[in-house]
Amino acid sequence: MDFDLATYYPIFIYLLFILAFAGGAMVAAHIIGPHRRTAVKLMPYESGMDPIGDARHRFDVKFYLTAILFLVFDVELLFLYPWAVVAYRQEPLLPAELRRIVFWEILAFVISLFVAYIYAWRKGVFRWR
């Protein structure tokens, strides 16, 4: 099997079209778009909060806890989908003994995440007061 660069020419051309479209869209938006410079638009905007007052005040942590929990359980799904696809194929890729080992490993993974969910629930992370 020889390496032939000509095989990849369509991909390079497609990449050039993508870059040209993105650059053209940015230039067109800058040229055509409105240019109203108001005091509100020029004001700094940090993390969804208006920069008014002292910077040393307490932040509500509930948003951040919810975001972290979402990421934890989202990453869990990223690990479970490939396993589910491979585990339930018509023609198995792994021998039966190795499939059992993988099943128990996935089960331990899900149980550990379930324990983390229960811990967060008992700590009151999901309460919005």
The answer to the question of residue 55 being in a domain is: no
**Structural domain includes residue 52:** no
Instruction: Give pLDDT, residue 65.
Output: 77
Is residue 48 situated within a structural domain?
Answer: no
Counting every residue, how long is the chain? 129
Residues above pLDDT 70, as percent of the chain: 84
Q: Is the pLDDT of residue 115 over 80?
A: yes
- Residue 80 neighbours by CB distance under 10 Å: 15
Closest CA to 117 of 73, 77, 74, 78: 73
The whole-chain average pLDDT of the chain stands at 81
Q: Is the pLDDT of residue 30 over 80?
A: yes
Judgement on whether residues 79 and 107 belong to the same structural domain of the protein? yes
> Do residue 84 and residue 119 come from a single domain?
yes
Q: How far is CA 87 from CA 12, 44, 94, 111, in A?
A: 36, 51, 9, 18
> What's the predicted TM-score (pTM) here?
0.43
The one-letter code for the residue type at 52 is: I
Q: What digits encode the pLDDT tens for the residues 37-95?
A: 888 777 776 666 666 667 676 767 777 777 888 888 788 788 788 777 777 776 767 77
Q: Are 43 and 51 in contact (CB under 8 A)?
A: yes
**71/36 same-domain check:** no
Q: Assess whether 67 and 38 both reside in one domain.
A: no
Per-residue model confidence (pLDDT) at position 75: 81
